Amino acid sequence: MDCIKSFRDVKIRPALIQLLNLGILICSALVLWKGLMCMTACESPVVVVLTGSMEPGFRRGDILFLHMNKEPIRAGEIVVYNVDGRDIPIVHRVIKVHERKDTGEIDILTKGDNNPVDDISLYSGGQLWLNRHHIIGRAKGYLPYVGYLTIIMTETPMIKYALIGVMALLVMTTKE
Amino acid sequence: MHSAVQRANALVTIAAILLAALCTAASFLDSFNSPSVQAHVEVVKINRFKRQLDGNDEVKMTLNISMNLESIFTWNTKQVFVFLAAEYETEKNSLNQVSLWDHIVQEKERASFRVKVPTKYPLIDQGSNLRGKKIGLVLHWHVMPKSGRMIRDKMPLSYLSLPNSYTTKS
Amino acid sequence: MDWQGQKHAEMLMQIFLVASAVAAFAIGYFMRDFRLMMLIYAGGVVLTALVTVPNWPFFNRQPLKWLDPSEVEKHPKPQVSSNTTFSSSKKKSSKNK
C-alpha cells in the first residue's frame, strides 16, 4: 500500500516540471508569433499556399511571408485577401487598379496566374472590385515546401493526433 | 550523458538553422543583381473601341511586343512574371492601371522573345474617358525566387493616343 | 559513448554541418545551380548524421569505469538517518517505528 503511494508521489513533481517546461515552450512560440504579427502589421505574417491557382510560381505547400503597410497597392503585386463571408484567404495577383483622386480609395481586380479568368466570380454577391479593407497582406518573401506539413496535418487529422501523441510521450519519458 | 536521440535532435536543429541561413544568403545576393532590360512595344491595330452597355469604355488591340529579360535571371530565380499595363489618369481617378497581357518566363534561355498578340485582358475604363486619351504602356516584371525576397520593377515603354471617337458600334 | 567521445561527436557535428553549408553555397553559387547547392547540403547533413549520431566504438576509446558489483558490497552505502528529504516517507518511517 505505502510503496504504491510513494511511487505516485515521487513521479508527480518531475512530471509537473515537465509540463511547465512544455508550457514555457508554447508560450515563447506564441510570443514570437505575436511579435511577428506586430512587426509586419499583418494578421497572419506567414501563410501556406493551399491551391494550385498560382502555379508554376507557388505550389501547394509553399509558404509566403506577408506584410502590410499604407503604401499604394499597384498592379503586379501578390496580395492575400478575404472575401466577405468566407474565411479562407486567397492569394492572387493584382491585375487592375483604379485609384480615386479625391479619397485615395482603390478598386482592384485580382487573378490567379494559373486561372483562365479573373477573380470576379470569387467576390461575394455582385461585387466587382476589391478594396483596401479586403486585403490582409502583401507577399514579399517565399519559401518552398516548408508548409506542406501544415497541409498534411489539416487534411489528415490522424497524423496531427499521432504527432501530438508522440510528442507528449517524449515529454513524459525524457528524464531531463 | 547525451543519448543518440538528443544528438539527433541537436543535428536537426542546427541543420534547419543553417538551411534558413543558406536561403537568406542566396536571396540577399539577389539584391546585388542590377538587371538591364530591353523592351519595345508597338500597337499594330486597335481591334475594338466602343462603349459598353453599362457606360464604360472598352478597348481591345493587337500588340507587337519584344523584350530581353535575360539579365533579370540569377541562380535563385524560379520564374519571372512579366506583364504590360496600360496606365493613365482620368478626372475621377488619379491612377488607372490595367494589365493587357502577361507571360511567365521560367528559364533564362526563353527570356528574349518577340510576340504579336491580341490583348489578353480588355482595357475597360471606369467611365467613359478614353476617347482621345493618351495612355502609357509600361512593362512590369515580378521576379519570383527559389527562396527569399520577391522583386518587382517596371519600365515605361511608349505612349498610345486613342482615337477621338469609337471605332466600333456599341 | 564516453565523455571524451561525446565532446568529439558534438564538435564534429557542428564543424561538419557548417562546412557542408559553406561548401554547398560556394559550389552552388559558382556553378549557378541552386538545386546543386541543396543536394550538396543534404548530402552533408546525412553524412554528418551517420558519423555523429549513432554510438560508434571510436567514440568509446576511454570507456567509463563502472564500479564492480563485488566492490559495492565491500563498501556499503552509508545508512541514512531518520531525517529524510521526502516528508511522506518520513511520516511512513515514523509510523512504522
Q: Collapsing DSSP states into helix, strand and coil, what is residue B95?
A: strand
Which of B91, B140, B145 is nearest residue A142 as measured by Cβ atoms?
B145
Mean of pLDDT values over B151-169 = 88
Spell out, as residue ranges, where chain A has pLDDT lower than 70.
Answer: 1-10, 169-176
Residues A78/A91, Cβ–Cβ less than 8 Å: yes
Cβ distance of C49 and B11 shorter than 8 Å: yes
pLDDT digits (tens, 9 = 90+) for B38-88: 999 999 988 889 888 888 999 999 999 999 999 999 989 999 999 999 999
Same domain, B26 and B110: no
Query: Residue A64 sits in which domain range?
Result: 46-145
CATH number at residue B122: 2.60.40
Same domain, B52 and B123: yes
CA–CA separation, A93 vs A72, rounded Å?
15
In this prediction, residue C82 carries a pLDDT of: 64
Cβ distance of C32 and B76 shorter than 8 Å: no
Q: Which residue has the higher pLDDT, C65 or C91?
A: C65
Residues A78/A45, Cβ–Cβ less than 8 Å: no
Same domain, B3 and B80: no
What is the three-state SS of chain A?
CHHHHHHHHHHHHHHHHHHHHHHHHHHHHHHHHHHHHHHHCCCCCEEECCCCCCCCCCCCCCEEEEECCCCCCCCCCEEEECCCCCCCCEEEEEEEEEEECCCCCEEEEEECCCCCCCHHHHCCCCCCCECHHHEEEEEEEEECCCCHHHHHHHHCHHHHHHHHHHHHHHHHHCCC
pLDDT digits (tens, 9 = 90+) for B102-118: 999 998 899 999 999 99
pLDDT digits (tens, 9 = 90+) for B16-31: 889 889 988 988 888 8
Q: Which residue has the higher pLDDT, B114 or B8?
A: B114
CATH number at residue A70: 2.10.109.10
Contacts with A101 from chain B: Cβ below 8 Å: 91-94
Which one, of A70, A90, A62, A69, lies nearest residue A78 by Cα? A90
Confidence of residue C77 (pLDDT cuts 50, 70, 90): confident
Is A98 assigned a catalytic role? no
Look at chain B and report how many structural domains it folds into. Answer: 2
Both ends of chain A: CA-CA distance in Å?
Answer: 29
* C88 lies within 8 A of chain A by CB: yes
Those of residues 106-135 in B touching chain A at CB distance below 8 A are 106, 121, 126
**Angle at alpha carbon of residue A70, lines to A67 and A74, rounded to 5°:** 80
Query: Residue B88 sits in which domain range?
Result: 35-161
Same domain, B63 and B115: yes
Give the closest-approach CA distance of A113 to chain B in angstroms: 9
Q: Is the pLDDT of residue B139 over 90?
A: yes
Decide if C75 is inside a domain: no
Decide if C12 is inside a domain: yes
Same domain, B22 and B47: no
Task: Please tell me the pTM assigned to this model.
Answer: 0.78
Cβ distance of C92 and A10 shorter than 8 Å: no
Which ipTM was obtained for this model? 0.86
Same domain, B40 and B117: yes
Decide if A123 is inside a domain: yes
Q: Is the pLDDT of residue C57 over 80?
A: no
Decide if C86 is inside a domain: no
Same domain, B57 and B83: yes
Decide if A169 is inside a domain: no
Which one, of A57, A60, A82, A55, lies nearest residue A137 by Cα? A82
Which of C25, C32, C48 is nearest residue B25 as measured by Cβ atoms?
C25
In this prediction, residue A15 carries a pLDDT of: 76
Query: Residue C22 sits in which domain range?
Result: 1-55
Beta strands in chain B (DSSP E): 38-51, 57-68, 77-88, 93-105, 112-118, 123-124, 134-145, 148-149, 151-161
Decide if B123 is inside a domain: yes
Decide if A91 is inside a domain: yes
Q: Collapsing DSSP states into helix, strand and coil, what is residue B148?
A: strand
Decide if B10 is inside a domain: yes
Is A53 assigned a catalytic role? yes
* B81 lies within 8 A of chain A by CB: yes
In this prediction, residue A18 carries a pLDDT of: 77
Look at chain C and report how many structural domains it folds into. Answer: 1
In this prediction, residue C54 carries a pLDDT of: 80
Cell numbers of A165, please? Answer: 501523441
Cβ distance of C86 and A5 shorter than 8 Å: no
Is A119 assigned a catalytic role? yes
Decide if A68 is inside a domain: yes
Pick among A1, A2, A6, A12 to test the C interface (most C CBs inside 10 A)? A2
Cβ distance of B22 and C25 shorter than 8 Å: yes
Decide if C38 is inside a domain: yes
Give the closest-approach CA distance of A128 to chain C in angstroms: 41
Same domain, B83 and B131: yes
Look at chain A and report how many structural domains it folds into. Answer: 1
Cβ distance of A9 and C86 shorter than 8 Å: yes
CA–CA separation, A154 vs A156, rounded Å?
6
Decide if B168 is inside a domain: no
Cell numbers of B47, please? Answer: 481591334
Same domain, B10 and B93: no
DSSP secondary structure code for residue B162 in this structure: P
